[in-house]
Amino acid sequence: MKQNFTVRQGALDGVGAFLSVAQHRNFRKAAAELGVTPSAISQAVRALEARVGAALFIRTTRSVGLTEAGERFLSRAKPAFEELVAASEGARYLGQRPTGLLRLSVPRAVVPLILEPMIASFYQAYPEIEVEIAASAELVDLAAEGFDAGIRLGQFIAPDMVAVRLTPPFSFVVVGSPDYLRGRKRWERIDDLRDHACLRMRRSNGSIAAWPLYRRQQGCRGNRLWAADRERLPHTPRSGDPGSGTCTGARPARESPNC
């Protein structure tokens, strides 16, 4: 059964002053330690005693001692107060220096291009951060899957996501190997590519991506097709490969990865 409880406003007021006086058995020394006046310490202790409903100190002109109620209050308040101070310091440390687990969702292709060159320097700058990288061609929902951030091409960023540019804009081009082009008519217009073997990417949902060309987003499909994940497309067309021809996509419209 859930219990009802309330935390009274100012419940901790004066506890720090009480603990300092109890340690030094002297109001002036407690005031010096806390950087306040002796009268401020006296007022804080009196207010605390009023809330507790019992005298916590025995005061004379020459000494300060704890009452029985003061001894009991000290035995329980001191460790609790120290835990609160430690919790506050721990939270402040986390706020000043990043630490913990950072989960990233990225396309496989950006790992060697963007992440690998900066991983060593990142760990030197933030040694207390543990990085978990999930490399996949699938465009996952970052928030729903529990990721802290992701790397995407600009066209795949949701409108409500906060994005930071990671690279200057770049362009993709249509290329072909010399062996493939030997004896074939070279393309001069977009429609000419329909007569060539074009390597295209298979998306994570199974669909085959067209080559969007120029800013009009006009699609191009070759008459022969080799579909692959983007990460498995050959970096350099080679003689004898089934796709060693017009290959590796085309997007002269400029874009760049974002995080």
pLDDT of 248 higher than 60: no
Share of the chain above pLDDT 70, in %: 75
pLDDT for 61 beyond 70: yes
Confidence label for 46 from pLDDT (cuts 50, 70 and 90): very high
- Measured distance CA(32)–CA(23) in Å, rounded: 13
Which residue from 193, 190, 176 is spatially nearest to 239, judged by alpha carbons? 176
86-90, 185-189, 213-217: the lowest-pLDDT one: 213-217
Predicted confidence at residue 29, as pLDDT, reads 92
Q: What tens digit of pLDDT does each residue of 92-133 get?
A: 766 667 778 899 999 888 888 888 888 889 888 888 889 999
Number of residues in the chain: 259
Q: What is the pLDDT of residues 201-226, one digit of tens each?
A: 776 667 777 777 764 444 454 444 44
Give the pLDDT confidence score for residue 195 in this predicted structure: 80
When pLDDT is cut at 50, 70 and 90, the band that residue 258 belongs to is low
Please tell me the predicted confidence (pLDDT) of residue 228.
44
pLDDT, tens digit, 9 for 90 and up, residues 122-170: 888 888 889 999 988 777 888 888 898 888 877 677 777 788 888 887 7
**What is residue 247's predicted lDDT score, i.e. its pLDDT?**
38
pLDDT of the residue at 44 = 92
Assess whether the region 15-96 and the region 100-168 belong to the same CATH fold.
no
By CB atoms closer than 10 A (0-12, 13-18, 19+), residue 36 is middle
Least confident range of 2-16, 67-81, 242-256: 242-256
Name the CATH superfamily for 100-168.
Answer: Periplasmic binding protein-like II (3.40.190.10)
Output the average pLDDT for the chain: 76
CATH class of 15-96: mainly alpha
For the chain, the structural domain boundaries read 15-96, 100-168, 171-258
Lowest mean pLDDT among 69-78, 110-119, 172-181, 234-243: 234-243
Q: What is the mean pLDDT of residues 223-234?
A: 45
Q: Are 153 and 255 in contact (CB under 8 A)?
A: yes
Higher pLDDT, 24 or 219: 24
DSSP string, 105-152: EE-TTHIIIIIHHHHHHHHHH-TTEEEEEEE-SS---TTTTT-SEE-E
Give the list of residues 6+ apart from residue 203 with CB closer than 8 angstroms, or none.
Answer: 137, 209
Give the per-residue pLDDT at 40: 93
